Structure 1
Amino acid sequence: MEDVITEAAPPSRFLEEDLNIFTPPSPPLPKPFLIFPHNKQTLKPSLLIIALSPSSLALFNQTLTLTLTPLASLILPELPLSLPDHNVSILPLSPDTLLAPVPFPVPSHRAHAVARALLSIRPDSVLVLDSLDPTNFRGKLSSDDAVAFKLETSAEMKRAHDEKLLGEELDYYPSGSVVDGLGAAILARCQLMNIRASLCVSWPRFDKSVVALIKGLLGRRVLPGFEFGLSDDEVLKIGRSRDRVVHSELYI
């Protein structure tokens, strides 16, 4: 006969979803918001570049830390400001081009809120630099070969070839593959707002060849003549500390 005192309790007759109805819901998190310096200026850039991938963050790192003064910062209230890399600085690359590097992973339940906050400055066009998740890719990827693909909003697709942010150098992301994370949320938000936007996803997540690929794309079309000032050794050192995984809503 079983010992009713020491035997494990039988499984609950309730589903976990049913048990949750007896627990009060958690209070909603405050919305992410932008803060400006005292000499606030209107931000209405022609182009907003959003760096998410370890390779793009490494590419811009020298510029971020040494030469540029933030025009604004995006804050997530749940992240402690006492720790480094817990805000998104919006930096001027040129009079009409802004850079927003996101140095921390954004969880799925905050991706759309962060996308809304970033796009509240109403840029004319947006370029998102993200990394490719091989689990979401329909096909084979080699760890030795750097590749990149693009996705575009309808407003960007209607542009002539020589007017597009990424031109015709990149193939479109293969049918049946998906992109998730903050990059997908930003592209979806741009589609809703009818903003010209391109999402570039690259593989491997971090590699010297990927950094060179992105640098070439930006130098030929988006930032011609821009001095990144980053050596190969610095790229490798920074990239190892930047590698991360981001999960969020899907964009097909």
Structure 2
Amino acid sequence: MEDVITEIPPPSRFFEEDLNNFTAPSPTLPTPFIVFSNPKPNLNSPLRPSLLIIAISTPSINLLHHCLSSKPPIGTLMLPEISLSGNSIEPSLKDKSCHIYALDDQNSIIVVIVQFRVVAERSHAVAKLLIDGEAQICPERVLILDSVQSRNFRSNLPPDEELAFKLETTAALMEEQEGLGAQIRSLGFFLSGSVMDGLGAALLGRCQMRRIKGTLCVTWPESGALALSLVKSLLKDVLPSLEHLRVSDVDDDGSRLDSELYT
């Protein structure tokens, strides 16, 4: 006679997906939101910049932070799961933050510096908020600055060479990119078979869905003096103030950044 205590139990009659029905669902994360430093006179009137620049890559964050360090941010994007503990009062490269800057009083060029990692599950929510999100920012043109990772590139990436590519929405392809500068306009397109993911891809997808002229500029390497020089050369036509910024000064601060903060 079989011993029911020591005998190997029969396999479960439930499928794995059926067993998941008995587990409590994961709590829903709060929606990200933007806090403006100076409330807009008309809350129903969105910001309508001619160009919205969104910095995601480490070199673009370093360069734009130094370029805009003397300007107070006009707003901050808050991602509730990102703790503000340890952040300084004044904007710092060591902070986990996402500050929004205006280059002039007319808000014709707005810059967003994303200094925290946005996981894939939250990328679309952040992209929706930054681009025509709840009628707060409605740009005419969007420039996204990201870096390509070796695992997403179809061929080998040389560590001692600088490379740059672009991806564009249909609306951008149909019109001249006069506001982006000659260097970016002359870039070759991202190689077929390579992929982009994360926040940069979500932002470009949002531009495509909203029929906005969007350009995703990706560079290699992901950090270091070569990457800083490359991004500076691409942006100097768009932001002339970068021309007087020394890469050596930026690199000193950039070398202390935590690369895990960025996508």
TM-score (norm 1): 0.85
Structure-2 change in CA distance of 1:13 and 1:232 (3 Å): farther
Aligned residue for 1:92?
102
Task: Report the residue type matching 2:126 in the other structure.
Answer: V
Following the alignment from structure 2 to structure 1, what is the Cα–Cα distance between the partners of residues 24 and 13? 21
Aligned residue for 1:169?
186
Following the alignment from structure 2 to structure 1, what is the Cα–Cα distance between the partners of residues 144 and 8? 52
RMSD, matched Cα:
2.8
Deviations 1:80-111 (A, max 9, x none): 22332333110112341111010011011100
Structure-2 change in CA distance of 1:136 and 1:10 (3 Å): farther
How far residue 233 of structure 1 moved from its aligned partner, in angstroms, is 4.3
CA contact (8 A) 2:100 2:110 kept: yes
Task: Report the residue type matching 2:171 in the other structure.
Answer: A
Following the alignment from structure 1 to structure 2, what is the Cα–Cα distance between the partners of residues 13 and 245? 44
Task: Report the residue type matching 1:145 in the other structure.
Answer: E
Identity of aligned residues (%): 43
Which residues in structure 2 correspond to 1:78-227 (within 5 Å)?
Answer: 78-84=81-87, 85-94=95-104, 95=106, 96-119=108-131, 120=133, 121-160=137-176, 162=178, 167-220=184-237, 222-226=238-242
Task: Give the match's secondary structure for 1:90.
Answer: strand
How far residue 236 of structure 1 moved from its aligned partner, in angstroms, is 3.8
Structure-2 change in CA distance of 1:54 and 1:164 (3 Å): closer
- Number of positions where the alignment pairs a residue of Structure 1 with one of Structure 2: 244
2:47 paired residue among 43, 62, 87: 43
Unaligned runs of 5+ in 1: 248-252
Structure-2 change in CA distance of 1:24 and 1:197 (3 Å): same
Task: Give the match's secondary structure for 1:156.
Answer: helix
Task: Give the match's secondary structure for 2:219.
Answer: strand
CA contact (8 A) 1:182 1:246 kept: no
Task: Give the match's secondary structure for 1:114.
Answer: helix
Task: Give the match's secondary structure for 1:122.
Answer: coil
Following the alignment from structure 1 to structure 2, what is the Cα–Cα distance between the partners of residues 228 and 19? 62
How far residue 135 of structure 1 moved from its aligned partner, in angstroms, is 0.7
Structure-2 change in CA distance of 1:15 and 1:53 (3 Å): farther
Following the alignment from structure 1 to structure 2, what is the Cα–Cα distance between the partners of residues 89 and 245? 15
Aligned residue for 1:27?
27
Structure-2 change in CA distance of 1:8 and 1:127 (3 Å): farther
How far residue 223 of structure 1 moved from its aligned partner, in angstroms, is 1.7
Unaligned runs of 5+ in 2: 88-94
How far residue 61 of structure 1 moved from its aligned partner, in angstroms, is 2.5
Deviations 1:100-136 (A, max 9, x none): 0100110111000000111120111110100101111
How far residue 238 of structure 1 moved from its aligned partner, in angstroms, is 1.5
Following the alignment from structure 1 to structure 2, what is the Cα–Cα distance between the partners of residues 10 and 244? 45
How far residue 47 of structure 1 moved from its aligned partner, in angstroms, is 0.7
TM-score (norm 2): 0.82
